[in-house]
C-alpha cells in the first residue's frame, strides 16, 4: 500500500499477481523515486490496513517531509517482482521500519539486498520465548513521536546498568556531539553514536507517560 504527498490518506495497492483494483507497475502510481521512501512492516498477526499505529506513523512522516510511505502486508508470505517494483529507486534512500516479527523481516530484506538499504529500524523485535514483560507496542509510540523534529528529542545516556542511571551516576551534558549520549528514534542520525558501533553499550533515558513522551 503506497501513500505519498499526492495521496496521503488513500492507498494505492500493489499485489503480485494483480488483483481487482490493484497495480503491478509502480511507474503508473504516485511513487516518486527522487523522494526518500519509508517502508513500514507490521508484526505477527497485525494488519497494516487496520492498525492505528501504521496510520499514525504514516501521518507523522507525511506531515513533516515529502516522502513515499509504503505499508507491506506480508501475511500471505509471498514475494514480488523486485526488478519491476524497485525500478528507478535508489536503495540508499530507503528506510525500512519493522515492528516485532516485522523487525526480523526488515533484517532479511537488508540481507537480500546485500546491505544496500540506507537504513533499517527494528522496533522491539519479537523474541521466540514469549512472556514479554513490557508493552510491546510502546516502542511504536516512542518512534512515532520522534518523527516530528519539533518534538523534544529522546536523549539517552550511556550507562553500565539501570541502577547506576537512576542513581544519577551517568548524567552528562548531552549535546548532540557528545559520544556517550544517543538520540533514539527517527532523529538518531543526529547523534554521535550513530556514526560508529554501539554494540555492547547500554543507553537509558526517562520518558513521560503521554505524547510526546521525550524530555529532551
**pLDDT tens-place string over residues 102-134:** 899 899 999 999 999 999 999 988 765 544 456
C-alpha pair distances (Å), 23 with each of 13, 71, 135, 140, 186: 6, 15, 37, 29, 30
Between 94 and 193, name the one with better pLDDT: 94
* Strands 94-99 and 119-123, sheet pairing: parallel
Domains, in order of start, for the chain: 2-150 (3.40.50.1820), 151-215 (no CATH)
Q: What is the pLDDT of residue 132?
A: 47
Q: How confident is the model at residue 190 (pLDDT cuts 50, 70, 90)?
A: confident
Mean pLDDT, residues 75-95 taken together? 63
Residue 82: is its pLDDT beyond 60? Answer: no
Mean pLDDT, residues 133-153 taken together? 87
- Whether the link from the prior residue into 5 is cis, omega within 30° of 0, is no
pTM, full prediction: 0.82
Q: What is the pLDDT of residue 209?
A: 92
Between 203 and 135, name the one with better pLDDT: 203
Mean pLDDT, residues 131-139 taken together? 67
Q: What is the pLDDT of residue 200?
A: 74
**Percent of the chain whose pLDDT exceeds 90:** 45
Residue 83: is its pLDDT beyond 50? Answer: no
Q: CB atoms < 10 A from the CB of 106, how many?
A: 25
Residue 194: is its pLDDT beyond 70? Answer: no
Helix axis angle, 52-64 to 138-147, nearest 10°: 10
CA–CA separation, 138 and 96 (whole Å): 18
CA–CA separation, 167 and 162 (whole Å): 9
| pLDDT tens digits for range 16-27 | 655 555 555 677
Please give the order of strands across the beta sheet that includes 203-204.
181-184, 154-158, 203-204
DSSP 22: -
Mean pLDDT, residues 131-142 taken together? 73
Q: What is the pLDDT of residue 183?
A: 87
Q: What is the pLDDT of residue 61?
A: 97
- Identify which of 185, 190, 155 has the alpha carbon closest to the alpha carbon of residue 173: 155
Q: What is the pLDDT of residue 84?
A: 42
Q: What is the pLDDT of residue 79?
A: 42
Q: What is the pLDDT of residue 24?
A: 58
Burial 36-47 (b: 16+ CB within 10 A, else e): bbbbbbbbeebe
Q: What is the pLDDT of residue 129?
A: 52
Amino acid at each position: 500500500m503506497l501513500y505519498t504527498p499526492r495521496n496521503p490518506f488513500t492507498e494505492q495497492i500493489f499485489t503480485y499477481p494483480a488483483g481487482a483494483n490493484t497495480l503491478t507497475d509502480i511507474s503508473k502510481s504516485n511513487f516518486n523515486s527522487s523522494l526518500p521512501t519509508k517502508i513500514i512492516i507490521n508484526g505477527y498477526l497485525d494488519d497494516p490496513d487496520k492498525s492505528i499505529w501504521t496510520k499514525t506513523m504514516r501521518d507523522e512522516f507525511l506531515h513533516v517531509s515529502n516522502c513515499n510511505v509504503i505499508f507491506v502486508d506480508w501475511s500471505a508470505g509471498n514475494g514480488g517482482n523486485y526488478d519491476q517494483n524497485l525500478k528507478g529507486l535508489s536503495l540508499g534512500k530507503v528506510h525500512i521500519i519493522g515492528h516485532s516479527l516485522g523487525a526480523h523481516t526488515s533484517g532479511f530484506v537488508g540481507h537480500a539486498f546485500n546491505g544496500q538499504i540506507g537504513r533499517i529500524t527494528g522496533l522491539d523485535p519479537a523474541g521466540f520465548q514469549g512472556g514479554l514483560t513490557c508493552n510491546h507496542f510502546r516502542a511504536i509510540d516512542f518512534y512515532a513521536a520522534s518523527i516530528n523534529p519539533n518534538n523534544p528529542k529522546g536523549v539517552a545516556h550511556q550507562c553500565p546498568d539501570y541502577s547506576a542511571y537512576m542513581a544519577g551516576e551517568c548524567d552528562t551534558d548531552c549535546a548532540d556531539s557528545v559520544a556517550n549520549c544517543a538520540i533514539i528514534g527517527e532523529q538518531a542520525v543526529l547523534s554521535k553514536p550513530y556514526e560508529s558501533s554501539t554494540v555492547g553499550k547500554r543507553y537509558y533515558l526517562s520518558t513521560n507517560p503521554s505524547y510526546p513522551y521525550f524530555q529532551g
